Amino acid sequence: MNLPLLRLSARRAAPLPALAAVAGVTLLAVVDQPGRAEIVEVSPTFEDVIRRGQDLAASTGWLAGVLVASVLVALFAARVPDRWFRDEGDWLGVTGTSRSSIVRTCLAGILTGAAGFSVVIGLVAGALGGGPDAPLGDHATPAPLLELASIAGPSRSLLLMPGERFEQELPDGAIGPDTRVRIRVAPALGAEGATTSARIESADQVSEQLVARRTWLEVSPSRSAGAVSVTNIGSGALAVMGPRPVEAWRLSSATGGGHLRLAGHVCLHLAFLAALAFGLGAWMGPGIAATLALALWLAARMALTSIEMEGVLPGGASLAAALDAISEGRSPRPVSPALTAAAAGAVLTGFSLARSSLGTWRRESRSS
């Protein structure tokens, strides 16, 4: 692999001003604005808001950084092949390097640049917005880092009338001593009361709660159990909100408060966009190629959502879930093999598109 060309492509895919811009946007989203502390301290019930403010800021920082980086990565990646055809064919095309090698090297440089954006966002959002070394503040108490162990339940919502009970079995080992289990519920029409109360039970732990809006019923079993149940003990109807309303969370060993895992999700998302934009940029103008790459990603997300497969798209539901986990002070799940395969597929597509466009370019370069 041609290292100077790889470095050049990486710099072009992630130029310093663009990295600085993404870092700046992330920083602006993370930084604690003056006055916020006074606002949240109007109530003692805001202790949770103060404690989780940094997690929320980190999530916002990631979101803002990813949005800006997605556009920049697509645009800069699409510009790389455009330069081949504009003014670099004269020297690049006659170096004797194979077409595949040129494409492969440039693509590797672009993916390195895309990863650079992820690192920059992670450094700013992870270091300032949360993570294990973040300052906790006066009101904070360190909480154990959790990650999602399993999701279960019916695919559709179900209604519990007063006195009725819903039980969900979970896989062996999903509920242990250090696990938290929660069920998504909401009050519903159909019974006497407008709101209701619910009891959640798992192993020897029981918790009761008034349900006046959509909320989570959560319990921390002190020993292993195979099931969790919720009973409507109020006068109103209770909806168990599908799809898959039961979540089990276990202690996580993720490093960096889960920010490293989130960086992995973001990296795959940016690689997906960059590779597509690179491939399309070999066939059309960089602006159109970048826009088309973003549009294709959006269309894929909508299409996959309609068939409930949105979790396999880099930057899709898995990234949204990872951001939600960070905002709750929990760790995202590691990157799945399906996500990696999807990103690898996009890289292969980008390579094939760019490689096939170079046949004409090489012949023209040699004849000139």
Q: Which residues bind another protein (CB under 8 A)?
A: 28, 31, 33-36, 38-40, 42-43, 45-46, 48-49, 52-53, 56-57, 60, 184, 186, 194-195, 210, 212-216, 327-328
Give the residue with the Cβ less far from another protein, 4 or 44. 44
User: Is 194 or 309 the residue whose CB approaches another protein more closely?
Assistant: 194
Residue with smaller CB distance to another protein, 216 or 283: 216
The Cα 295–Cα 290 span in angstroms is: 9
The dihedral formed by the CA atoms of 114, 117, 118 and 121, expressed in degrees to the nearest 10: -170
Contact in structure between 336 and 81 (CB atoms under 8 Å): no
Closer CB to another protein, 20 or 341, in the complex: 20
Token pair in block for residue 164: 């009725």
Strands 237-240 and 165-169: unpaired
As measured in angstroms, the least distance from the Cβ of 284 to another protein is 31
- Pull the structure tokens for residue 270: 């940016």
CB of 212 to another protein, least distance (A): 4
Q: Min. distance of Cβ 255 from another protein in angstroms?
A: 24
Q: Which residues of 96-120 are buried (b: 16+ CB within 10 A; e: fewer)?
A: eeebeebbbbbbbbbbbbbbbbbeb
Query: And the tokens for 10?
Result: 């990486």
Which one, 196 or 357, has the nearer CB to another protein? 196
Q: Which C-beta is closer to another protein: that of 32 or that of 167? A: 32
- For residue 307, the minimal CB distance to another protein (Å) is 23
Which CB atom, from 94 or from 210, has the smaller least distance to another protein? 210
Question: Where does 110-173 show beta strands of DSSP type E?
Answer: 146-152, 158-160, 165-169
User: Can you name the residues that pair with 160 across neighbouring β-strands?
Assistant: 238
Closest distance between another protein and the C-beta of residue 37, in Å?
9
How many other CB atoms are found less than 10 A from the CB of residue 133?
A: 9
What CA–CA distance (Å, rounded) separates 166 from 81?
A: 58
Judged by beta carbon, residue 4 or residue 35, the one nearer another protein is 35
**Among 229, 220, 161, 156, which Cα is nearest to 196's?**
161
Cβ distance to another protein smaller for residue 124 or 342: 124
Give me the least distance between CB of 257 and another protein, in Å please. 17
Q: Which is nearer to another protein, 212 or 341 (CB)?
A: 212
d(CA 119, CA 278): 21
